[in-house]
Amino acid sequence: MNGRILLGFAAILTYLAAAPAQAQQAGDGTRPMKQFAIPKERMKRLVDDNSVAIASDRITVDGHKVGYMYREAPHDPVDSGWRFLAGDEDDAYMDNAANHGVYTVNTIANYDPEIIPFLEAPAGSAFIRVDGKLVPDPKGAPAPRD
């Protein structure tokens, strides 16, 4: 995974915080409404974590499994610190904040329940999909960007 991809989610958080939550989920007239791979009605309570994470649309819209996940220090009390990617996002994709969203950790667990055993890992942890299974990434989480 390219180091640049592992990234400035701070810019994404800033972008998403500037738009009302309803606009991110329902379309605000300036951005097309996202068509999520799993309809809201099919979401189940898989984890009791109400904190939020950032995930790539490759997971939530395109329906790919989590291919890379890492945890950084949370930015605020509702942020879990988790960042979820399919693992095939290139620099151009990652640079477009509209390709990401803020979701509850439970929402991402619905897209890929295989993340659940790793959710208690501390900040600095990272996991990558190898041969179809999530395993610890010996490189750990990417260094935070200023």
- The model's pLDDT over 17-35, given as tens digits with 9 standing for 90+, comes to 544 443 444 445 555 789 9
User: Which residues does 143 contact at the CB level (< 8 Å), separation at least 6?
Assistant: none
With cut-offs at 50, 70 and 90, classify the pLDDT of residue 117.
very high
| 145 within a domain of the structure (yes/no) | no
DSSP for 22-40, written as a single string = HHHHH--SSSPPP--SS-G
Average pLDDT, the chain: 84
| 143 within a domain of the structure (yes/no) | no
Mean pLDDT for 80-107 is: 94
pLDDT score, position 4? 39
| 84 within a domain of the structure (yes/no) | yes
| 146 within a domain of the structure (yes/no) | no
| 72 within a domain of the structure (yes/no) | yes
Domain span including residue 83? 3-136
Q: Note if the pTM is more than 0.85.
A: no
| 142 within a domain of the structure (yes/no) | no
| 87 within a domain of the structure (yes/no) | yes
User: How many independent structural domains does the chain possess?
Assistant: 1
| 79 within a domain of the structure (yes/no) | yes
**30-49 pLDDT per residue, tens:** 557 899 999 999 999 999 98
**99-109 pLDDT per residue, tens:** 999 999 999 99
